[in-house]
Amino acid sequence: MRKSLLDHLLDWAGRIVLIAILAFVLLPFVVVAIASFNDGAILSFPPREWSWRWYANAFQYRDFGAGLTNSLKIAVFGATIALIAGAGFAYVLDRYEFRFKNTLNGILMSPLIIPNFTIGLGLLILSAAASLPRNLWLVVATHVVIVMPFVVRSVYVSLQNFERRFEQAAESLGGSPWHVLRTITLPLLAPGLASGGLFAAILSFNEFTASLFVVNQSTQTLPVAMYNYVREYADPTLAAVSVIYVLAVAVILLIVHKFFRLEKVLNVE
Amino acid sequence: MTKRPFLGWFASPSILIAFGIAASFLAIVQYSFRANIPGALDPGGFTLENFTTLWKAIYGDAFLNTVLLCLWTAVFTLLIGYPLAYAMVRARSVRLRSAILLISLTPLFLGEIVRTYSWMIVLGNRGFLNAALMQMGLIDRPIPFMFTMTGVVIALVHFTLPIVVVMLAAGLSHIDRNLERAATSLGAGRVRVFLTVTLPLSIPGIVAATSTAFAWTFSAFATPQMIGGGQVQTISTLVYQVGFASFNFPLAASLSLTGLLFTVAVLAIFNTGIRRLERIGGH
């Protein structure tokens, strides 16, 4: 069938709209990359002189290093705890009926609709009321609450697509529940667990609002350190940090995309 | 052998966490009915004063600002997100699809700070946008984007776009293409097929995406805080200010609680809408 003039026009209009939208998505990252090489402390476009000095400054600024260490610790502990608790819950959610199942599910999923500033405030007040110290574990607990719904969802989807026959075969051959879990269920669930855990770690690493409520000077995360920097200094050091941040995330996503396919992880296939 | 192996072991950690969530929610409810004692960490006795204070103009303005931001952000995010999701789901070349997917979804994994800071550099008086417009001779004085609703909406649209694209793409990918083919074979043109088949079938996805956009915009903090710079107060920025500048945690708690009840009410309306649409679409 030959394309009419209208079809050609539609094709071209579609392309232009798509390119414009993608340009809007990419614009801030391109601009921040240009700004990061601006030699002067005051921004100008285009930069009059170029330099790497803000990158050097970013690596020398103590709070970023300390924030990165905290963020990595929190992401690892938070994602691990959320993965263990979330995978366990997804399993019982998929397989069993028990009392208060819906209540439990509702409470655990509620952080999806409760704003992060409310979660942060709630845990801050709770820790003050219970006289708990405002240490790194409080931040870890906050992150577990926030990322757990995503882990539960990811593992639950894997369990829904799970072939029960392999487990049934192992059971009928006399395998104990523990043996079946260890040799059949867990290996088959590994991709779902891995993507759920990774997703949780990335979300935790990026979390800012709730963290701002529960951190103190010694437990501040990288996003909080970055926020505090903007409030105090106007130079482009943060632009350099942003560029490194974007590149690191893009590389991680490319690797994830290669192994898991993002379409599947995000269920948009 | 028990019929439900591992139930206790697997459920216990999540029960513990659920108790933590419930306790922190109760802590907010409890604090919002307590008097504030300036300078003391512990709150005073029972009072309704926090909620009567919320009737003051600055809190009303923050609510109004938040609702307006949610509305505008939802409208623009849908207008931009729909073509993007459509292209992502329907692109014939795998490479193009992967490229669109990576470009539009990477911001989802970048967090609020990096994205908001980047927009500050774009929108500032000496920022990229004003510099470009001035050099092209289109304007001779910078347009103030920073500290305005317009600036906050632009950055919020960028912040909300990836999740909206995910929701819309999920909806679009589940549409049965045969319905479109049937319409085409009966002589409908592309525009007509889109308007009478594809668009109506994607309405459940649009409603779901709108409710998510609302929830994201409502809970956004860094964007209105950094781009709005105190000139555009929202519920989130005000909760932080009341808590950490005035140290009035009971008032911050009551403001949070009111905001949460508002969110739940709005999302409940959306959910009813989605259920009705599914009933129409399913049969």
pLDDT at A64 over 70: yes
The reply to whether residue A113 touches residue B267, judged by beta carbons under 8 angstroms, is yes
Rounded to 10 degrees, the C-alpha dihedral A33/A242/B222/A231 comes to: -90
CB A141 within 8 A of CB B20: yes
C-alpha span between A1 and B176 (Å, rounded)? 23
Instruction: Give the residue on A whose Cα is nearest the Cα of B253.
Output: A121
To the nearest 10 degrees (0 to 180), the angle between helices B235-244 and B203-219 is 20
* Structure token digits, residue A140: 């870890």
Which single residue is written with the structure tokens 């290996």? Answer: A187
The pTM of this model reads 0.91
pLDDT for position B1? 44
Angle made by CA atoms A137, A142, A143, in degrees to the nearest 5: 95
Q: What is the ipTM of this complex?
A: 0.90
pLDDT tens digit string along A151-185? 999 899 889 888 888 888 988 998 888 888 888 89
pLDDT for position A265? 63
Angle made by CA atoms A150, A156, B170, in degrees to the nearest 5: 70
C-alpha span between B173 and B167 (Å, rounded)? 10
> DSSP string spanning B5-68?
TTHHHHHHHHHHHHHHHHHHHHHHHHHHTB---TT-SS--SB-SHHHHHTTSHHHHHHHHHHHH
DSSP H helices, chain A, are 5-36, 53-60, 62-95, 101-109, 116-129, 136-160, 164-172, 177-180, 186-206, 209-214, 222-232, 237-260, 262-265
pLDDT for position B281? 58
Which single residue is written with the structure tokens 């903090």? Answer: B221
pLDDT for position B96? 87
In this complex, the residue of B18, B226, B252 whose CB is nearest that of residue A230 is B226
C-alpha span between A138 and A215 (Å, rounded)? 8
When pLDDT is averaged across residues B247-256 and rounded to a whole number, the result is 93
Could you tell me how many CB contacts below 8 A there are between chain A and chain B? Answer: 251
For residue B204, give the nearest of B152, B275, B103, B264 by alpha carbon: B275
The reply to whether residue A84 touches residue B13, judged by beta carbons under 8 angstroms, is yes
Amino acid present at A219 = T
Which DSSP state fits A253? H
The reply to whether residue A92 touches residue B263, judged by beta carbons under 8 angstroms, is no
Q: Is the dihedral of CA A104, A106, A109, A110 positive or negative?
A: negative
Lowest mean pLDDT among A95-109, A129-143, B37-51, B104-118: B37-51
* Structure token digits, residue B102: 């990576």
Which DSSP state fits A111? G
C-alpha span between B186 and B205 (Å, rounded)? 26
Lowest mean pLDDT among A104-108, A198-202, B277-281: B277-281
For residue A237, give the nearest of A6, A2, A35, A8 by alpha carbon: A35
Please tell me the CATH code under which domain B61-282 is placed: 1.10.3720.10
Chain B CB within 8 Å of residue A118 CB:
yes
Which single residue is written with the structure tokens 């419930």? Answer: B22
Which single residue is written with the structure tokens 């809190």? Answer: B59
What integer best gives the mean pLDDT of chain A?
89
Residue ranges per structural domain of chain B? 61-282
Q: Which residues of B touch A245 (CB under 8 A)?
A: 110, 114
| Position A266 confidence tier, pLDDT thresholds 50, 70, 90 | low
The partner residues of B46 in beta bridges, in order of sequence, read B34
| Position B82 confidence tier, pLDDT thresholds 50, 70, 90 | very high
The CATH classification of domain A62-265, taken from the options 1.10.540.10, 1.10.3720.10, 3.40.50.80, 3.40.50.300: 1.10.3720.10
